[in-house]
Amino acid sequence: MENKSGTYRSSCGECDATYIGQTGRSFKTCFAEHRTAFNTNKPADYAVAKHCLSENHDHGKKVSGEILYVTSKNRVMDRL
């Protein structure tokens, strides 16, 4: 599953914050990018990293991810 693309949910383990996102790349790559954005303190377009940095939450130990729908990058993904 981690090598597929689609819609996913990331949740902060220290509060109730949840992010729903989509990726045309593999989930594994996408989650790694969120982690890198947090570790380098450059969250840019990564909402989970931005949340953890602004709230001083531990991204590395607490953030969880869940694949909601597997689909390729197309209108179906946009609707989901």
- For residue 10, give the CATH number of its domain: 3.40.1440.10
- Domain count across the chain: 1
CA distance 2 to 25: 10
- Which residues does 50 contact at the CB level (< 8 Å), separation at least 6? 37, 43
Which residue bears the tokens 């694949």? 67
Task: Judge whether 34 lies within some domain.
Answer: yes
pLDDT for 24 equals 85
Task: Judge whether 42 lies within some domain.
Answer: yes
**Domain membership of residue 59 as a residue range:** 6-75
CA-wise closest residue to 59 among 50, 69, 71, 68: 50
Contact between residue 43 and residue 50 where contact means Cβ atoms under 8 Å apart: yes
Task: Judge whether 1 lies within some domain.
Answer: no
Q: Would you give per-residue pLDDT tens digits along the chain (80 residues)? A: 788 888 889 888 889 888 888 888 888 888 888 888 888 888 777 888 888 888 988 876 677 888 888 877 767 767 66
Task: Judge whether 19 lies within some domain.
Answer: yes
